[in-house]
Amino acid sequence: MSSLPSLLSARVAAVTGVDPELRPATKPQFGHFQSNVALRLANAEGRRARDVATEIVAKLEIADLCEPPEIAGPGFINFRLRTDVLAAAVTDQLAEPGLGIVAADRSETVVIDYSAPNVAKQMHVGNLRSTIIGDCLHRVLAAVGHRVIPQNHIGDWGTQFGMLVEQIMLDGTDVLSLDLAGAEAVYQRANAHFKADPDFATAARRRVVALQSGDPETRQVWRQLLEISKAAFNAAYARLGVLLTDADLAGESIYNDDLAAVVAELEESGIAVIDDGALCVFVEGFNAPMIVRKADGGYGYSTTDLAAVRHRVRNLHANRIIYVVGAPQSYHFDQVFAVSRLAGFLPADVRAEHVAFGQVLGADGKKFSTREGTAVTLNTLLDAAEEQAAPAVAMAAVKYADLSTGLNKDYVFDVGRMVQTTGNTGPYLQYAHARMSQVLRKADAEGYGEQTKVLVLDEPAEQTLALLLTRYGEIVDEVAETLQPHRLCAYLYDLAGALSIFYEQCPVLKSTGDVRDSRLALCVATKRVLASGLNLLGIEALDRM
């Protein structure tokens, strides 16, 4: 099964001998696809580009696919698909369950590490990005046939739990009576206490040891903190409609028992050396070593991340590991990957990628701080969104606002922007879908039948829509490869825009015969592709708005 562009591309390559680099035309008057192959060849051969283009066009055998190609500008070759070919392509697409999404050549086991909220802290808008980007990548990779293993690497371990548990036991607090805001307040109090009172600090450090060595009383409090946190996380996930469940929880704590073994392997292989009392791994290209065991004998998060890589490769059999974590961690992950390669935890044929997203900044352009209370909690944002629109629409607005821009850019948090429902937004896509549902409902009521064949495609608005529809599969492929959800957003926005123009210019229910049947089939195809694409974004496709 090959797509129209790849078929055409192969035909052109047969004449030119090189990849024609067929691209979607930048403007409608340039047809459907354009190639600059003549310009490149002309330069290499020292000839005039238009002459080369003329020669190529004369040799092309593509009459079964295209109108006669046109040579334009300095030597571009413009292709316009025959409308019957385009119509047939949509008909074929409609017959496929995947709507043009094709399974990857090789199905991989992909571990995606995302969301990762901290236990005993409320989720804030920063957690939102990891959660919804990860959820989208999860859906996209699964759609192209990969086995996806989500890993929610929650922050459920480390020194902060020493002070937290110590404070709770000191106060005699019943943890199960706390909500997350309450737990977070205890954490902030413990933090201040830790700084102000050396005796408390000592007790807190002892408490960390007790936690790690499995002291029953300490573990009991810790488990309760975990419990109330999980309940809150799950409530947030349900509200957002993301795929994560308790089965995907794989927090820092589960690697506790692996840490000594990981370090032992590093020592045995001679990769790790003692420096300044700490066990370090020096890797070329990094200006600081990775500390895998602190001078006091404790382990930090680097060791946990190494253990996670090792586990994901050895036990989960990952072919690809994706970390959806903020951009400030880039250096850390580069180092984790590099050390993992050295240590053999990460074989050369396993890809490891850090999907680094920019930070969410406050209105002042500064980083949000949980400690200073400037961070906006997830629930505050979602509440604000739901003041603007019904929950499903509000979630669409929030998610799309986050997914539709490039990932690596910081953004200033602006509720007004995130809950926008007009223009290039999630609700606009939902609206396009709802309109199609409405048309098809009415068609059904009129007894026009389920149309699945596009027979005529005379109007430019129909052709533009059809051409866009056929691109769906390649776009999903691109996102699976590049891990850039905003490309899918841009595509769906273009599709919805083309649909709106079609809707304005091409009456469906008032037309007759083959024209009506074809338009109905276009409506079905567009509705399905929108529904599929929205689903990949984690946005609900609505039948009415």
Q: In the window 40-59, what residues touch RNA (CB under 7 A)? A: 40, 43
Q: Which of residues 270-299 bind RNA (CB under 7 A)?
A: 275-278, 280, 287-289, 291, 294-296, 298
Tell the smallest beta-carbon distance from residue 219 to RNA (Å).
Answer: 18
Tell the smallest beta-carbon distance from residue 212 to RNA (Å).
Answer: 10
SS3 384: helix
Virtual CA dihedral for 473, 476, 477, 479, nearest 10 degrees? 160
Binding marks (x or -) toward RNA, 185..214, rule CB under 7 A?
------------------------------
Nearest to 140 by CA among 376, 412, 482: 482
Query: Which residue, 110 or 336, has its beta carbon nearer to RNA?
Result: 336
Given a contact cutoff of 8 angstroms between Cβ atoms, the answer to whether 375 and 125 are in contact is yes
Q: Single out the residue of 200, 222, 255, 503 in contact with RNA (rule: CB under 7 A).
A: 503
Q: Does 256 bind RNA (CB under 7 A)?
A: no
Q: Does 371 bind RNA (CB under 7 A)?
A: no
Tell the smallest beta-carbon distance from residue 317 to RNA (Å).
Answer: 25
SS3 260: helix
Stretch that binds RNA, among 128-136, 154-162, 196-204, 232-240 (CB under 7 A): 154-162
SS3 148: strand
Measured between alpha carbons, how far apart are the two ends of the chain, in Å?
37
Q: Single out the residue of 229, 420, 451, 526 in contact with RNA (rule: CB under 7 A).
A: 420
Query: Which residue, 166 or 252, has its beta carbon nearer to RNA?
Result: 252
Stretch that binds RNA, among 38-46, 86-94, 119-127, 345-353 (CB under 7 A): 38-46
Q: Single out the residue of 243, 283, 327, 342 in contact with RNA (rule: CB under 7 A).
A: 327
Q: Does 78 bind RNA (CB under 7 A)?
A: yes
Nearest to 120 by CA among 151, 157, 169: 157
Size of the site for RNA (CB under 7 A): 93
Query: Which residue, 188 or 319, has its beta carbon nearer to RNA?
Result: 188
Distance (Å, whole) CA 538 – CA 425? 14
Nearest to 119 by CA among 178, 189, 204: 178
Binding marks (x or -) toward RNA, 423..452, rule CB under 7 A?
xxx-xx--x--xx-xxx--x----------
Query: Which residue, 158 or 473, has its beta carbon nearer to RNA?
Result: 158
Tell the smallest beta-carbon distance from residue 130 to RNA (Å).
Answer: 13
Tell the smallest beta-carbon distance from residue 33 to RNA (Å).
Answer: 9
Q: Does 501 bind RNA (CB under 7 A)?
A: yes
Q: Does 513 bind RNA (CB under 7 A)?
A: no
- b vs e for 416-443, b when ≥16 Cβ sit within 10 Å of the residue's Cβ? eebbbbeeebbbbbbbbbbbbbebbeeb
- b vs e for 477-513, b when ≥16 Cβ sit within 10 Å of the residue's Cβ? bbbbeebbbbbbbebbbebbbbbbebbeebebbeeee
Q: Single out the residue of 26, 177, 315, 512 in contact with RNA (rule: CB under 7 A).
A: 26
Tell the smallest beta-carbon distance from residue 150 to RNA (Å).
Answer: 19
Nearest to 318 by CA among 345, 290, 295, 286: 345
Instruction: Dig out the tokens for 396 from the structure.
Output: 């669409």
Q: Does 390 bind RNA (CB under 7 A)?
A: yes
- Residue 25, judged by CB atoms within 10 A of its CB (0-12, 13-18, 19+), counts as middle
Tell the smallest beta-carbon distance from residue 109 to RNA (Å).
Answer: 25
Look at the block and give the residue holding tokens 């352009």. Answer: 365
